[in-house]
Amino acid sequence: MKKTYEIAGQVMGFFDAFKGSRPAIDNNNILIVRGRSRKVIPLSDFEAKLIEIGEIIGGNEIDSNSDKLEEILKEGDKNIQESDIVTNTVDTHGFMKVKNDLESMGLVVEYKIFELPNFDVIIAIWEDKNEIPPLYVEVTVSEHKG
């Protein structure tokens, strides 16, 4: 089993979002898995839960305002472009646009970026602002070259 699957599996299992989860992109360098859970996490616990799963996978958190985020997104975009899926270029502006679009639909979104020895991991969770299920989970595991 590829290490990307192990990391993504830990994340999806932690949020009880394994059942029905599926890869959105899967190639040799990147795995993006989306799923949903019937579990409801209080909105006030979003950040703590993301920090907890980051510790479980052994990641070092990257500040979302750092220059490192731009590097991680560019590397991930390069990995995505190696797949057959046509996408727009990913950068911090597009990343934040998606977050803002979800929030404009009445969802609360939280994400964290973690660096592991050979991978960058972005975990995003969102749910209705009234804490109505489902909880959506997306994890991106991207190989990095440094």
22-35 pLDDT tens trace? 898 898 889 999 99
The C-alpha atoms of residue 126 and residue 134 are separated, in whole angstroms, by 9
In order of 16, 48, 103, 115, 118, the CA distances from 58 in angstroms are 19, 15, 29, 9, 11
Q: Which two tokens stand for residue 29?
A: 């360098």
Read off the pLDDT of residues 37-73 as tens digits, 9 standing for 90 and up: 988 899 999 999 999 999 999 999 998 888 887 888 7
Q: CA-CA distances (angstroms) from residue 43 to 28, 46, 49, 75?
A: 34, 5, 10, 30
| Predicted local confidence at residue 138, as pLDDT | 94
pLDDT of residue 146: 57
pLDDT tens-digit readout, 84-118: 655 555 555 666 788 888 899 999 999 999 999 99
Structure confidence at residue 46 (pLDDT)? 97
pLDDT of residue 130: 95
* Domain extent for 48: 3-143
Overall domain count for the chain: 1
pTM score of the predicted model:
0.89
For the chain, the maximum distance between any two Cα atoms, rounded to a whole number of angstroms, is 41
CA torsion 120-16-127-99 (nearest 10°) is 10
Let me know: does 7 contact 127? Beta carbons within 8 Å. no
